[in-house]
Structure 1
Amino acid sequence: MAPSNEDRDDVFSEEETRLEKLIAPQAEPREFKVVYRNIIVLLYYHMAGIYGLYLGLIAAKWATVISAFITYCISGIGVTAGSHRLWSHKSYKATKPLQLFLMLCQSVSNQHSVAYWVMVHRLHHKYSDSDADPHNATRGLFYSHMGWLMVRKHPEIEKRGKLLDLSDIYGNPYLKFQDTHYYWFLPLMSFLLPTIIPMYFWGETCSVAWNVNMCRYVMNLNAIFLVNSVAHMWGYKPYDKNIAPSQNLSVSVLSLGEGFHNYHHVFPWDYKCDELSSFRTNPTTVFIELCAKLGLAYDLRSASDDLIEGRAKRTGDGSYLTLKKSR
Structure 2
Amino acid sequence: MFIGWLSIEGITMGAHRLWTHHSFQVTPLLSTVLMIMQTMAGQNCIWIWVRDHRQHHRYEDTDGDPRNASRGFFFSHMGWLMCRKHPSIIKTGKNINMEDLNADPIVMFQKNYYYLLYFIFAVYVPVAIPVYFWNESWNVSLFVNYFFRYVNVLHTTWCVNSVAHSFGNKPFDKNILAVESRFVSLVTFGDGTHNFHHAFPWDYRSPELGTSLQITSKLIEGLARLGMASNLKYVSDDMIKARAKRTGDGTYKTQTSEKAL
TM interval, shorter chain, is over 0.9
AA paired with 2:219? F
Question: Are 2:170 and 2:249, in contact at CA under 8 Å, matched by a contact in 1?
Answer: yes
Q: Which runs of 4 or more aligned residues in structure 1 lie more than 4 Å from their structure 2 counterparts after TM superposition?
A: none
AA paired with 1:129? D
Of residues 181, 195, 213, the one that matches 1:262 is 195
1:295 maps to which residue? Answer: 227
TM-score of the superposed pair, with normalisation by structure 2: 0.94
Question: Are 2:210 and 2:255, in contact at CA under 8 Å, matched by a contact in 1?
Answer: no
Of residues 20, 37, 46, the one that matches 1:105 is 37
1:131 maps to which residue? Answer: 63
Q: State the Cα deviation string for residues 52-75 of structure 1 (Å, max 9, x = none).
A: xxxxxxxxxxxxxxxxx1101111
Question: Are 2:185 and 2:211, in contact at CA under 8 Å, matched by a contact in 1?
Answer: no
Structure 2 gap segments, 5+ residues each: 257-261
Q: State the Cα deviation string for residues 197-220 of structure 1 (Å, max 9, x = none).
A: 111111101111011121111111
Question: Are 1:109 and 1:220, in contact at CA under 8 Å, matched by a contact in 2?
Answer: yes
Q: State the Cα deviation string for residues 174-204 of structure 1 (Å, max 9, x = none).
A: 1101101112211321112111111111110
AA paired with 2:175? N
2:259 maps to which residue? Answer: none
AA paired with 2:223? C
Could you tell me how far apart the structure 1 residues matched to 2:242 and 2:194 are?
A: 18
Higher relative contact order (CA 8 A, sep 6+): 1
Could you tell me how far apart the structure 2 residues matched to 1:128 and 1:189 are?
A: 32
AA paired with 2:74? F
Structure 1 gap segments, 5+ residues each: 1-68
Question: Are 2:237 and 2:255, in contact at CA under 8 Å, matched by a contact in 1?
Answer: no
Question: Are 1:137 and 1:229, in contact at CA under 8 Å, matched by a contact in 2?
Answer: yes
1:220 matches 2:153: yes
1:275, CA displacement in angstroms? 2.3
| Greater Cα radius of gyration, structure 1 or 2 | 1
1:92 maps to which residue? Answer: 24
2:171 maps to which residue? Answer: 238
Could you tell me how far apart the structure 2 residues matched to 1:86 and 1:236 are?
A: 27
1:256, CA displacement in angstroms? 2.4
Matches within 5 A, 1:288-327: 288-321=220-253, 324=255
Partner of 1:225: helix, strand, or coil? helix
Question: Are 1:80 and 1:256, in contact at CA under 8 Å, matched by a contact in 2?
Answer: no
Of residues 183, 187, 191, the one that matches 2:119 is 187
Partner of 1:151: helix, strand, or coil? coil
Superposed CA RMSD = 1.3
Q: State the Cα deviation string for residues 246-294 of structure 1 (Å, max 9, x = none).
A: 000110121222211000000000000032253xx23111111111110
